[in-house]
Chains A and B, each alone.
Chain A
Amino acid sequence: MSTQPKAPPTLFALQRWMLAAITDPQGVADALAAKCTQQQLPVALETLEQVILRGPQQTALQRLAIYHTAYFARLLEVLRGLFPCLRYAVGDEVFDAWMVGYLQTHPPCSYTLARLADRLPEYLQTTCPAEWGRFAVELAQLEQAIDRVFDGPGPETLPPLMLPDRLGGDLRLRLAPGMELHAFHFPVSRYYSAFRQGHHPDWPAEEPQWVALLRRDYVVRRYELAQPQYALLKELAGGGTLDNALQAAVAAYGQHVPDDLPAQVHHWFAFWASQGMFVAAE
């Protein structure tokens, strides 16, 4: 049973109480009765006006509810903006339900909304229905990675690297700052492209996809890779020599290494260099 507050609350107690009340997905009225809110300030709905005053045309509850509505509306708007493709893929209702659950589990704690979804893929990994899980998680990971590359460090201020004609085996190539390599179980990049082009793609069947993300001239570029290309670039990204990287690519081919692999590799490097994937050769 709630009791009336005995003395004016401390600022800390009042703020903790208000934050708990306006961030409870069940609504302010339910929040007031909740244990965590009562622990901050033992005020019941009937005695709310001992804390929040009635307004000219609104009750104390209605006034407090404005902040509750705003909290979820604002953060959902942000999350929809960060994950437009995931939202399309699962639909508004499911998306919003997931996001409300996420906000409850991982409430915002950074000064910037850019960090709001940092733990979303991790959250989805543990909460998504099994039949939806991996695709949704990977789509979230892709959209998050695009944002990260977009606003993270980039190569724009660095001079272009001209690759030497002959690439020695002990050469180490440094990838552009911020460049990311991803291996997915679903063709999420292709799905994302279709969505961005205004199509209405269906959920794809499982099919591995390897993707490089690179920013150039402040625009994020996606490159769908073959597995050997991914293996090669991944090895270079880890600081491996060109020889190590080529071995990784050969290993990715398994039993079916093409005869013209050296020519292909030469072609790959020429293309990647033209795209600005490398910033230094050591």
Chain B
Amino acid sequence: MQEPSACLCRPTHLGFGVGLRTVHFADILRTWPPIDWLEIISENFLDSQGRPRYVLSQIAERYPVVMHGVSLSIGSADPLDFDYLARLRRLADAVHARWVSDHLCWTGVAGRTSHDLLPLPLNEDSLRHVIQRVRIVQDFLERPLVLENPSSYVTFAASTLSEWEFISRLVEATGCELLVDVNNIYVSSRNHGFDPRDYLAGLPAGCVRQYHLAGHTDLITHCIDTHDAHVTDAVWDLYAQAVARLGPAATLIEWDARIPPLAVVHQEALRAQAVAKAAADASLERHAQPVHKAPRPSAAVPGASAVGTGSTPPDRAPLTAVPHPAHWVAAEADARACPALPAAETPA
């Protein structure tokens, strides 16, 4: 097992970033806040020739940008969409994307799409299928693909591998890298009844390019990955364990619904920085259990037993908790809808 590095400054460790969201465009352009890096939802910019693309160009001149997609559908039985891949590659080149990531999932089949991150049956057949497609995508994009573990709400009778086994073998076979979404591990652990520490223990160290952190909605019987709240204490604990076990890596806060001001999201990223530093220091100093030294005390017990700790409680949960990705980012209202209607110049 590779020991985690104490250094948070590896070439690919961009620091602690936030997801670029439309509601923050104006704030970013006005204040250029000291955020380490920004992650975009690739599909929101692939075809844009208007303000979103213009804003992204401005931002890419000042911040490292990472592209995170939701439509690659690497696990679909449909053929790969090379037009989509070509667009991805063009955008990645244009904004000097540090890397391109997507999810270990499928989003559609037979020419239709769900715009959701749907789970795969995890077995030898699907592993072979995904390995083959990851290799093709990496060849096409001419860069390693970074894949994220999705949240999931069902498991299939046809599965014979755990998700961490599947991912480990995929990494070994393809050399792809990992975007470890710590919140997704937690959400899936609650939904499927595994210990998230087993998940972390089963992932290969040294392959983690990035971490994701986000809030979720706890509905007691299950959790939904809603990205609409602060990171929960249980997930902070799990993040500390992930850093201790897998090593530090660029970390990003995702917030996609009920999005607060940028300063709040940034503050969450700074908390991640403190948690990661404490975890890395503790791991190096003692080579022992990764104690979480979070800036704020946590009473949460990490793991599947940590029910309802800090996430959106059911009484405040939206009527319909919608899993990420609701990745449509509506245009800024003022820009889309004309701030003023110029007077019509009518003939006499």
Mark A residues whose CB is within 8 Å of B.
8-12, 14-16, 18-19, 22-23, 49-53, 55-58, 60, 62-64, 66-67, 69-71, 73-75, 77-78, 81-82, 107-114, 116, 146-147, 150-154, 156, 178, 189, 192-193, 196, 215, 218-226, 228-229, 253, 258, 260-261, 264, 267-268, 271-272, 275
Contact = CB atoms under 8 A, between A and B. Distances in A.
Contacts of B339: 219
A219 B116 CA distance: 31
Contact of B116 (A50, A71, A150): A71
B77 interface: yes
B143 to A, nearest CB: 19
Residue of B331, B338, B346 with highest tally of chain A CB at under 10 A: B338
Contacts of B106: 15
A156 to B, nearest CB: 7
B157 interface: yes
B283 interface: no
A261 B347 CA distance: 8
Q: Is the interface of B mostly helix, strand, loop or mixed?
A: loop
A14 B129 CA distance: 14
Interface in B325-340: 326-328, 330-331, 334-340
B338 A196 contact: yes
B338 A275 contact: no
B49 A151 contact: yes
Contacts of A156: 54
B345 A71 contact: no
SS class, residues of chain A in contact with chain B:
helix
A12 B77 contact: yes
Nearest to B153: A66
B31 interface: no
Interface residues of B, number: 70
B175 interface: no
B155 A55 contact: yes
Given A109-B112, A112-B44, 9 more contacts: A12-B77, A12-B109, A53-B156, A57-B221, A64-B154, A73-B320, A74-B326, A111-B71, A268-B347
B336 A147 contact: yes
B132 interface: no
10 contacts: A11-B125, A14-B158, A16-B109, A58-B191, A63-B222, A70-B116, A111-B43, A113-B115, A218-B50, A268-B347
A70 B157 contact: no
A57 B50 CA distance: 47
B337 A220 contact: yes
A77 B154 contact: no
A264 B328 contact: no
Interface of B: 43-44, 46-54, 71, 75-77, 81, 84, 106, 108-116, 118, 120-121, 123, 125-126, 129, 153-158, 190-193, 220-222, 224, 320, 322-323, 326-328, 330-331, 334-342, 344-348
A231 to B, nearest CB: 11
Given A63-B153, A150-B51, A218-B51, A74 B116 contact: yes
Contacts of B326: 74, 77-78
Nearest to A213: B338
B317 to A, nearest CB: 13
B129 to A, nearest CB: 6
Given A70-B116, A73-B320, A260-B348, A146 B337 contact: yes
Given A67-B154, A111-B71, A222 B338 contact: yes
Given A15-B109, A19-B108, A52-B157, A114 B47 contact: yes
Contacts of B76: 15
Contacts of A19: 108-110, 112, 114, 118
A173 B131 CA distance: 55
Contacts of B84: 111
B114 A258 contact: no
Contact of B345 (A114, A215, A268): A268
B323 A70 contact: yes
Given A109-B111, A219-B334, A66 B342 contact: no
A106 to B, nearest CB: 10
Contacts of B341: 189, 193, 221-222, 224
A150 B77 contact: no
Most chain B beta-carbon neighbours within 10 Å: one of A11, A53, A156: A11
A109 B345 contact: no
A221 B323 CA distance: 35
Contacts of A151: 47-53, 331
A264 B348 contact: yes
A229 B192 contact: no
A253 B348 CA distance: 11
A46 to B, nearest CB: 14
A58 B113 contact: no
A275 B342 contact: yes
Contacts of A111: 43, 46, 71, 81, 84, 113
